[in-house]
Chains A and B, each alone.
Chain A
Amino acid sequence: MSDILHHLQTWIDSQEAFNDILQELDIPGSFVAWADDLAIPWATRTADEMPDALRAILSFVVQLFHRYGFLLNMDKGKTSAVVSFRGTGAPLLRQHFQLGAKPGDSVLIGDKMYFLHYVPSYKHLGTIFAANHRMDLEIRSRVGQAQAAFNLISKPILTNRHLPESTRLQLFRSLVESKLLFGLGAWITQLTGK
């Protein structure tokens, strides 16, 4: 896998238009990888450049993985793109690629046709990344998971008056609060009142 990631990073570094954007924004450009889970952040100057950029990325990744004997699972929920079209022409692109019966784009790679699903959100390493860049979905998910864990052990443990308060609090921290606050340190700073 490390050879694949090295080639991927070299390819990303060679994409001048993308790297110019990163330089202007003063942010490092790289992929996010964990074991066989891979996310590639990307940006283009105009909305209409994005579909072609995504085709180029998918084409490179498919062929790179193929060279090392891997096949990408292109099923929905396995390989997908979270796309935010912004600026001139964005409404038309959204209509064409995201608001149809089957959101996504067909890409011809070699002699095989691939379909890249465009999805509104994607869960990477337990955290939900949404196309609208808002945290609402992640917060709802965190609250839901914590609430489910709380309800499961509420009566027998967390509100059991036969257990000392300190024990109940300790168990609450490790079994419930850890789900509620997972990844909180990496969240964007909200303005007061939000």
Chain B
Amino acid sequence: MSKIKAVLLRMLQKVLRLTKEAIMSTTTAEVFRRAQQPDPRLADVN
């Protein structure tokens, strides 16, 4: 799941045309929010 999220994040950074500096300073949550994309979270399973 984390791999899927990482791939999605990398692609969204490209679609949003973030520069290297912007990628460094933007959090994952901000990228997903800007893309109006629900953050795929992991369920807490005990």
Q: How large is the interface on B (under 10, 10 to 19, 20 to 34, 35 or more residues)?
A: 10 to 19
Given contacts A154-B14, A159-B15, A191-B45, contact A180 B36 (CB under 8 A): no
A116 at the interface (CB under 8 A from B): no
Q: Chain A residues with Cβ under 8 A from B7's Cβ?
A: 143, 146-147, 180
Q: Contact at B1–A194, with CB atoms within 8 Å?
A: yes
Are B4 and A192 touching (Cβ within 8 A)?
A: no
Q: How far, in whole Å, are A60 and B9 apart by their CA atoms in the complex?
A: 49
The A contact surface, by secondary structure, is helix
Contacts of B8 in A (CB 8 A): 177, 180
Q: Report how many A-B pairs have Cβ atoms within 8 Å.
A: 54
Residues A180 and B14 in contact, CB atoms below 8 Å apart: no
Q: Which residues of B contact A168 (CB under 8 A)?
A: 15
Interface size on A, residues (CB 8 A): 25
Task: Name the residue of chain B whose CB is nearest to the CB of A139.
Answer: B3
Could you show 8 A-B contacts with beta carbons less than 8 Å apart?
A139-B3, A143-B7, A159-B14, A159-B17, A161-B17, A169-B16, A184-B4, A192-B43
Check A172 for interface membership: any CB of B closer than 8 A: yes
B11 with A176: CB separation less than 8 A? yes
Most buried by B among A147, A181, A189, A192: A192
Give chain B residues whose Cβ lies under 8 Å from the Cβ of A117. Answer: none
If A161-B17, A180-B4, A190-B1 touch, whether A146 touches B43 (CB-CB below 8 Å) is no
Q: Which residues of A contact B36 (CB under 8 A)?
A: 169
* B35 lies within 8 A of chain A by Cβ: yes
Beyond contacts A165-B17, A190-B42: 17 other A-B pairs, Cβ-Cβ < 8 A, are: A142-B4, A143-B3, A146-B11, A147-B7, A150-B14, A158-B11, A158-B14, A169-B35, A169-B37, A172-B15, A176-B11, A189-B45, A190-B43, A192-B44, A192-B45, A194-B1, A194-B2
